[in-house]
Amino acid sequence: MADTASEESSSLFFIFVLTILALPLVPFTITKLCRAANKKTKIMHCECSVCTKSGKYHRSIIRRISNFSTWSNLVLILLWVNMGFLVYYIKHTNQENQPFEPFGILGLVPGVSDSEIKKAYRRLSIQYHPDKNPDPEAHKYFIEFISKAYQALTDPISRENFEKWGHPDGRQGLQMGIALPQFLLKFDGASGGLLLLGIVGVCILLPLIIAVVYLSKSSKYTGNLVMHQTLSTYYYFMKPSLAPSKVMEVFIKAAEYMEIPVRRSDADSLQKMFVAVRGELNLDVKNIRTEQTKFWKQHPSLVKTELLIQSQLTHQSSSLSPSLQSDFKRVLELAPRLLEELLKISLIPRSPQGHGWLRPAIGVVELSQCIFQGVPLSARKPSGGFPTGIAPFLQLPYFNETVVKKILRKKVKFQDLLDMSVIERTNLLTQIAELSREEANDVELVLDIFPSITVEITCETEGEEGIQEGDIVTMYVWVTLKRKNKLISALPHSPYYPLHKEENFWLLLADPVSNDVWISQKVSFMDEVAAITSASTVIHETKEALGGTPKEIKTAVKEAVEKVKNGSRLVMGKFQTPAEGNYNLCSYCLCDAWIGCDTKTNLKLKVLKRSRAGTRGYVTEDGPAADEEKEDEEEYDDYESEYSEDSDEDEED
Q: What is the pLDDT of residue 340?
A: 94
pLDDT in tens, 150-184: 877 777 777 677 667 666 666 655 555 555 555 55
For residue 588, give the 3-state DSSP assignment: strand
Q: What is the pLDDT of residue 19?
A: 81
How many angstroms separate the first and last alpha carbons of the chain? 103
Is residue 628 predicted with pLDDT exceeding 50? no
Is residue 67 predicted with pLDDT exceeding 70? no
Q: What is the pLDDT of residue 77?
A: 87
**Is the separation of the CB atoms in 420 and 443 below 8 Å?**
no
Q: What is the pLDDT of residue 74?
A: 82
DSSP 186: G
Whole-angstrom CA distances from 280 to 260, 312, 405 are 23, 12, 20
**Is the separation of the CB atoms in 387 and 643 below 8 Å?**
no
Q: What is the pLDDT of residue 357?
A: 94
* Residue 642 pLDDT level (bands cut at 50, 70, 90): very low
Among residues 383, 393, 438, the alpha carbon closest in space to that of 414 is found at 393
Q: How many CB atoms lie within 10 A of CB 396?
A: 24
Q: What is the pLDDT of residue 85?
A: 85
Per-residue HEC secondary structure of 382-412 comes to CECCECCCCHHHHCCCCCCHHHHHHHHCCCC
Q: What is the pLDDT of residue 423?
A: 93
**What's the Rg (C-alpha) of the chain?**
37
Q: How far apart are CA 411 and CA 406, in angstroms?
A: 9
Among 78-92, 163-177, 546-560, the least confident range: 163-177
Among residues 359, 364, 389, the alpha carbon closest in space to that of 376 is found at 389
For residues 177-192, average pLDDT: 56
**Is the separation of the CB atoms in 435 and 421 below 8 Å?**
no
If one compares 160 and 39, the residue with the highest pLDDT of the two is 160
State pTM to two decimals.
0.72
Q: How far apart are CA 455 and CA 569, in angstroms?
A: 10
Q: How far apart are CA 580 and CA 582, in angstroms?
A: 7
Among residues 446, 366, 437, the alpha carbon closest in space to that of 414 is found at 446
Q: How far apart are CA 614 and CA 443, in angstroms?
A: 59
* DSSP per-residue codes, 322-384: HHHHHHHHHHHHHHHHHHHHHHHHHTS--STT--EEHHHHHHHHHHHHHHHHT--GGGGS-BT
Q: For residue 47, give every residue at least 6 positions away whose Cβ sits within 8 Å of its Cβ, in sequence order, or none.
A: 445
For residues 41-50, average pLDDT: 72
Q: What proportion of the chain, given as a percentage, has pLDDT over 90?
A: 39
Domain 102-165 = CATH 1.25.40.10: no
Q: How far apart are CA 20 and CA 630, in angstroms?
A: 72
**Is the separation of the CB atoms in 527 and 565 below 8 Å?**
no
How many whole angstroms from its chain centre is CA 323?
A: 28
**Domain 224-395: CATH class, spelled out:** mainly alpha
* Residue 566 pLDDT level (bands cut at 50, 70, 90): very high
Edge-first strand order for the sheet with 599-607 is: 356-357, 516-523, 505-511, 581-591, 599-607, 620-622
Q: What is the pLDDT of residue 17?
A: 76
| Proportion of the chain in helix, strand, coil states, percent, rounded to 5 | 55, 10, 35
pLDDT in tens, 568-592: 999 999 888 888 889 999 999 999 9
Q: Could you tell me the fold of the domain covering 452-607? A: Immunoglobulin-like (2.60.40)
If one compares 547 and 510, the residue with the highest pLDDT of the two is 510
Q: What is the pLDDT of residue 395?
A: 93
For residues 547-563, average pLDDT: 91
What is the chain's length? 653
Instruction: Produce one character per residue of 599-629: b if its CB has 16 or more CB atoms within 10 Å, e if not.
Output: bbbbbbbbbbeeeeeeeeebebeeebbeeee
